[in-house]
Amino acid sequence: AQTVTQSQPEMSVQEAETVTLSCTYDTSENNYYLFWYKQPPSRQMILVIRQEAYKQQNATENRFSVNFQKAAKSFSLKISDSQLGDTAMYFCAFGETSGSRLTFGEGTQLTVNP
């Protein structure tokens, strides 16, 4: 079974600075999907970014980018120019290519300070 580990339960960053959230996973699959979800205080789960394992190019979405290291089974999220609205719980998730079920990490609570 796949496992997803987020080793940083809490992080903080100053507004306008850059922060990186870590995620590692364990799988024997060669092809799969990886995701980062954001859960702000409203608790609505929002997809931030996704990565397909067979694509070597790291995904980017505006201020959000990932560093995907397939050999190391690492999938970190970088948030540039942090904004107060980025304050949220961030979940890393692993998805197989067969079926839609995701395996989630325990989450990292990010606080952006003014």
DSSP helix/strand/coil, 84:
helix
The verdict on 104 binding other proteins (CB under 8 A) reads yes
CB 93 within 8 A of CB 37: yes
Which residue in 35, 68, 75, 90 binds other proteins (CB under 8 A)? 35
CB 96 within 8 A of CB 79: no
Binding-residue total with other proteins (CB under 8 A): 25
| Binding map of other proteins across residues 57-96, x = CB under 8 A, - = no contact | --------------------------------x-x-x-xx
**40/56 Cα distance (integer angstroms):** 30
Binding region for other proteins (CB under 8 A): 33, 35, 37, 43-45, 47, 50, 52, 89, 91, 93, 95-102, 104-107, 109
